[in-house]
Amino acid sequence: MTAASSESTSETTGSTPPRLGVAVIGAGYWGPNLIRNAQATPEMRVEYLCDLDGERARRVLGEYSTVKVATSVDEVLADPAVDAVAIATPAATHFAVAMAALEAGKHVLVEKPIAPTFEEGLTLAETADRLGLVLMVDHTFCYTNAVAKLREMIRGGELGELQYIDSVRINLGLIQSDVDVLWDLAPHDLSIFENILPEDLRPVEVAAQGSDPVGAGHACVAYLTLKLSNGVLAHVHVNWLSPTKIRNMIVGGSERMVVWDDLSVTQKLSVYDSGAEISAASLDSDDRAATIVAYRKGDMVAPAMPNNEALRGVMAEFVASINEKRAPLTDGWSGLQVLAALEAASQSLASGGAFVPIRQVERPHGGK
């Protein structure tokens, strides 16, 4: 792996790793957020903001910034002071920019999706492993306290047997010109599923339906149904045309159910001691009237958790994975599995909504 060799002697002595020299590539919609959080991360030293539009980059940085502006990726990658890059360019360019950075010996943080195609994403993941570099995908929601708590509850068995997942991610705009609503919004939910599900449970098939009621040229409203390896269904609704913004997810378990409202300031998670059970005796009856259903309606608990800026957690994990020479939580292989689900969803959408198998990613280093 590369080392931040341009730091002073005082910073490189002792047990504290030198600060990571970082360049942000792309000053559009997401780039300013990356710059702000990188500058607020003590272990990082921001060297460049790179964008084809140099004036736009200067406006993002402000009049008094010491961060250098570049309009050439090659210039950035040639600078030995740059140890890592954070890529926030259009999705179609992710593969080319990330591959160039890896081949230049730089660690890479890339926005979702990891690449336009599965084959390109696989090439990136294999290249990073071969070169001993960190490749991380900015699946931001995986670094929220709410998702971390969901992961803990599901993997720890607190919810019992998983029964279903329902997710809604809708708002008015921004309609994208280069990707449909599936590729814009669904990666958030798919990456969350990848993060919170137990290691032996994963989506194996997906069916997608969508529509383009405003003539944007691709789907603006879409519904995904994913079959998990245990037969459970997970459902995702994404929409650019909703008058209200909703970010809700419900995870149903045999023991408890959880509602995640990401827009709530004070109560992100609500855990319900609720459920329904069919009596064993009625299962043997052919008479539906004899079916005995027991409903459990217990208490609701809202776990205390501090609000955190997820992107700050992304930056901290990026630095830590480099310094500790380990895979990050949302590594290239994780991003590749999300990409596999997106490609299968697009194939389903094009074929009228039939279920399509999702290619399964086997990580060389194991884990999930």
Contact by Cβ (8 Å): 93, 25: no
- Note whether residue 58 is domain-resident: yes
Domain that holds residue 75: 9-135
Three-state DSSP state, 221: strand
**C-alpha dihedral over 228, 234, 235, 240, to 10 degrees?**
-90
Final residue in a domain of this structure, among 76, 101, 135 = 135
What's the domain count of the chain? Answer: 2
pLDDT tens readout for residues 161-182: 999 999 999 999 889 888 999 9
Alpha helices by DSSP H, listed for the chain, are 9-12, 31-39, 54-61, 73-77, 94-103, 118-131, 145-155, 181-196, 280-283, 310-323, 332-350
Whether 151 shows a pLDDT value over 90: the answer reads: yes
- Note whether residue 186 is domain-resident: yes
- With DSSP H G I counted as helix, E B as strand and the rest as coil, what are the percentages for the chain, rounded to 5? 35, 30, 40
Structure-token match 């004036």, residue found:
55
Same domain, 151 and 30: no
Q: At 255, phi and psi to the nearest 5?
A: -105, -40
- Note whether residue 364 is domain-resident: no
User: CB-based contacts of 144: which residues, under 8 Å, 6+ apart?
Assistant: 262, 268, 308, 310, 313
Same domain, 122 and 63: yes
pLDDT tens readout for residues 74-116: 999 999 999 999 999 999 999 999 999 999 999 999 999 999 9
| Domain of residue 304, CATH code | 3.30.360.10
Final residue in a domain of this structure, among 80, 102, 135 = 135
Q: Return the bridge partners of 25, or none.
A: 50, 87
Whether 30 shows a pLDDT value over 50: the answer reads: yes
Whether 9 shows a pLDDT value over 60: the answer reads: no
Contact by Cβ (8 Å): 49, 18: no
pLDDT tens readout for residues 264-303: 999 999 999 998 888 765 555 566 655 788 888 889 999 9
Q: Is the pTM of this model over 0.75?
A: yes
Same domain, 301 and 211: yes
Report the pLDDT value the prediction gives residue 17, as an integer from 0 to 100. 80
Q: What percent of the chain has pLDDT over 90?
A: 82
- Note whether residue 268 is domain-resident: yes
pLDDT tens readout for residues 186-228: 999 999 999 999 999 999 999 999 999 999 999 999 999 999 9
Q: How far apart are CA 102 and CA 257, in angstroms?
A: 43
Whole-number average pLDDT of the chain? 92
Whether 45 shows a pLDDT value over 80: the answer reads: yes
Whether 345 shows a pLDDT value over 70: the answer reads: yes
Same domain, 274 and 186: yes
Whether 355 shows a pLDDT value over 70: the answer reads: yes
Final residue in a domain of this structure, among 135, 162, 197 = 135
- Note whether residue 93 is domain-resident: yes
Q: How far apart are CA 135 and CA 169, in angstroms?
A: 27
Question: Please, what is the end-to-end C-alpha distance for the chain in angstroms?
Answer: 23
Same domain, 127 and 211: no
Q: Kindly state the tokens that stand for 217.
A: 């040229």
